[in-house]
Amino acid sequence: MMNQPFKIICKSLGIYLAFSLSITHAQVFQIQDGSKHYDVVIDIACEKDECGAKAEVKLFKKGSKAVFQAFHSDDLTMYLDEKFKPSVNVIQLYDEQSPLIFDDFNFDGTEDLAIRNGNYGSYGGPVYDIYVFNQSKNKFVLSQELSAITQENLGMFELDKKRRRIITFNKSGCCYHIRSEYQVVPRKGLLLVREFIEDATSPKGDQVEVTDRNLVNGKWKEKTKYYPTAKYYAQ
């Protein structure tokens, strides 16, 4: 039979081990494969394979040890892979969305940066601070307009580079989905040019009402079609 002092020691060790596993630790991550022009250092607290809360993000021009620009996120959530590294440039609807995304968000030919900062978007989705590169100032500048559309929709938007459009996704419940497309108008901002709506809540029964609205020469043109629900979602 285990003597009492040994039982107390084991119990104490068990409590200590359980406690230590739950402690968050400050960690520094280096990302060198996310951008053509910059390396990144993220300083953030992590617990096991999940990191969150406040974070510092520093950019370095490739080949330089000097900080090019530093950013702060109050709530940068990120998950680590099997090698305990964060992803970058991943945008998956209803799934993984990386803490950092590099791309040309306003189609001006320069690389921009999105930094995850919270999970208060539509249906608790991730939101991002979008920084566009200002060539005259030689630095990244926060775009309130681009940041706002991540807050109002299901996470980070996608880009259609061929048509030069920003695409957002949203929904209401299980059966109403809307895809919106925006054009970036120089010196004016975003212009909504298309809404594609799939509505399976139609009172007409077991069917999906599909509405395609397009802005043509300053005027909205709308087409609506109806499809059997099973056939439509089997496509």
Specify whether 181 is located in the same domain as 218. yes
Q: Is 148 within the bounds of a domain?
A: yes
Task: Of 116, 34, 122, 131, give the one whose Cα is nearest residue 77.
Answer: 116
pLDDT at 19 over 60: no
Specify whether 145 is located in the same domain as 194. no
Specify whether 148 is located in the same domain as 77. yes
Please write the tens of the pLDDT for every residue from 64-120: 999 999 999 999 999 999 989 999 999 998 889 999 999 999 999 999 999 999 999
Q: 11 falls in which pLDDT band (50, 70, 90)?
A: very low
pLDDT at 188 (0 to 100): 93
Last residue of a domain, one of 108, 129, 156: 156
Please write the tens of the pLDDT for every residue from 117-163: 999 999 999 999 999 999 999 999 999 999 999 999 999 999 999 99
pTM strictly above 0.95: no
Task: Specify the 3-state DSSP secondary structure of 176.
Answer: strand
State the first-to-last Cα distance of the chain, in angstroms, to the nearest integer.
67
Q: Is 6 within the bounds of a domain?
A: no
Specify whether 86 is located in the same domain as 125. yes
State which residues form the domain around 37.
25-156
Q: 23 falls in which pLDDT band (50, 70, 90)?
A: low
Task: Specify the 3-state DSSP secondary structure of 123.
Answer: helix
CATH number at residue 122: 2.40.128
Q: Is 115 within the bounds of a domain?
A: yes
Q: Is 106 within the bounds of a domain?
A: yes
Specify whether 190 is located in the same domain as 139. no
Specify whether 138 is located in the same domain as 185. no
Task: Specify the 3-state DSSP secondary structure of 196.
Answer: strand
Specify whether 152 is located in the same domain as 78. yes
Last residue of a domain, one of 123, 156, 189: 156
Specify whether 140 is located in the same domain as 178. no
The tally of CA atoms less than 13 A away on the side-chain side of residue 62 is 8
Q: Is 135 within the bounds of a domain?
A: yes
Sign for the CA dihedral angle at 53, 35, 151, 154 comes to: negative
Q: Is 187 within the bounds of a domain?
A: yes
Please write the tens of the pLDDT for every residue from 152-197: 999 999 999 999 999 999 999 989 999 999 999 998 999 999 999 9
Specify whether 228 is located in the same domain as 150. no
For the chain, what is the domain count? 2
Q: Is 109 within the bounds of a domain?
A: yes
Specify whether 95 is located in the same domain as 174. no
Q: Is 1 within the bounds of a domain?
A: no
Specify whether 137 is located in the same domain as 97. yes
Lowest mean per-residue pLDDT among 9-18, 34-43, 111-120, 214-223: 9-18
Specify whether 151 is located in the same domain as 199. no
Last residue of a domain, one of 127, 156, 185: 156
pLDDT at 203 (0 to 100): 77
